[in-house]
Amino acid sequence: MSEPDSVEETVTGIIADVLGTDPADIEKDTALAALGWDSMNSIEALVRLEATFAVDLDLRSFHAAHTVEQMAALVEKLRAGASRHA
């Protein structure tokens, strides 16, 4: 499978879709709370991120991530860990 997008771009796409906003309106350091982020949105995003990247996110660190940049870092860290163990 080719992967044209960076993790950050894919995360932005998913979050924009969940929030129903334009990806262009979300900078990597925009605080998601400012965009109407709530617990239902966050679970929707969690399920999508986990399905897209085939990872299991830790809920505590996921909820500690407030920006796209932080979420992408979380995903990348897990993926690096997974491939090391594979």
Partner 1 sequence: MSESETPLAALRAAVREHRMPDPPLRRALLESDDTALARQAGKALKQLTVDGDQPRQVEVALLATCTIGSYEPLLRAQLVGAGFLPTLRAADYGTFGMALATGRLAPEGDPQLVSLLMDAGYFLPGDWHAGDPDALEKHVEARLDEFRAQLAACLEHTAATVVVHTVPLPAQVRDGVISLGARARVGRMWYRVNAALLGLAEEHAQVVAVDLVGELAEAAVPARDARLHRYGDMPHTDGALLLLARLVRRVAQAQLGLSRKVLALDLDNTLWGGVLGEVGAQGVQLGGLYPGNCYLELQRTVHRLREQGVILVLASKNDADAVERALTDHPDMVLRPDAFSARVVNWSAKAGNLRQASEALSLSTESFVFMDDSDFERGQVGDELPEVAVVSAAGDPAHLVDALLRQGWFDVMELTDTDRKRPELYRKRAQRGDFSAGFGSSEEFLRALELSVEIAPANEFTIGRIAQLAARTNQFNLTGIRYDEATTRRMSEDPGHLVLSVSVTDRFGDEGIVGALWVERRPDVWRVLNMVLSCRVLSRGVENAAIGWLAGQAREAGATAVEGRYVRSPKNSVAASFWTDAGFAPVGSPDGDSAESAPTDFTVAPATAAAVTPEWIALNKRSGFSDE
Q: Is 47 in the site for partner 1 (CB under 8 A)?
A: yes
Here's the x/- map for partner 1, 55-84, by CB under 8 A: it reads as: ----x-------------------------
In the chain, how many H helices and how many E strands?
4, 0
Of residues 83, 77, 81, 52, the one with CA closest to residue 62: 77
Instruction: Say how far residue 40 (Cα) sits from the centre of its chain.
Output: 15
Select the residue interacting with partner 1 from 39, 54, 83, 85 (CB under 8 A): 39
Q: Is 38 in the site for partner 1 (CB under 8 A)?
A: no
Considering CB under 8 A, how many residues would be counted as binding partner 1?
A: 9
Query: Could you tell me if 8 and 72 are in contact, meaning their C-beta atoms sit under 8 angstroms apart?
Result: yes
Q: Is 17 in the site for partner 1 (CB under 8 A)?
A: yes
The Cα 76–Cα 37 span in angstroms is 22
Residues that bind partner 1 (CB under 8 A): 17, 39, 43-44, 47-48, 51-52, 59
